[in-house]
Amino acid sequence: EVQLVESGGGLVQPGRSLKLSCAASGFTFSDYNMAWVRQAPKKGLEWVATIIYDGSRTYYRDSVKGRFTISRDNAKSTLYLQMDSLRSEDTATYYCATLAVNGWFAYWGQGTLVTVSS
């Protein structure tokens, strides 16, 4: 059974940093492209970042470029999202998800809530 378990969310002040983790199990993590998708409270879904299966390429939405870094450790089957210079508009539940080669998000974690507020 595919399992994705996010951790690392919490309350953080604007301008500070936070690092999210996503522990994967039940599938061969190193074979899959992965992504972070976020959802602001009572709002819709927004793609944040993608990393290719071997970590060789990464992609970001414009609003997080230069502030967020997606990475992975295939030996530990873990995905990360380093978030720097956080803003109030980054407040959301962050989901990690597997990303099919063609582009749909097949499996999702339960999410971790990030609240940016002073």
Partner 1 sequence: DIRMTQSPASLSASLGETVNIECLASEDIYSDLAWYQQKPGKSPQLLIYNANSLQNGVPSRFSGSGSGTQYSLKINSLQSEDVATYFCQQYNNYYTFGAGTKLELK
List residues binding partner 1 (CB under 8 A).
35, 44-47, 59, 61, 95, 100, 102-111
Of 3 and 17, the one with the shorter C-beta distance to partner 1 is: 3
Contact status, residue 22 vs residue 5, Cβ threshold 8 Å: yes
Q: Across the strands, what pairs with 79?
A: 22, 72
At its nearest, how many Å lie between partner 1 and the CB of residue 102?
7
At its nearest, how many Å lie between partner 1 and the CB of residue 81?
16
- Of the candidates 1, 78, 82, 92, which has an alpha carbon nearest to the alpha carbon of residue 38? 92
3-class DSSP state of 115: strand
Of 27 and 47, the one with the shorter C-beta distance to partner 1 is: 47
Of 34 and 109, the one with the shorter C-beta distance to partner 1 is: 109
Of 11 and 100, the one with the shorter C-beta distance to partner 1 is: 100
Give the type of residue at 71.
S
At its nearest, how many Å lie between partner 1 and the CB of residue 103?
3
Q: How far is CA 67 from the centre of its chain?
A: 13
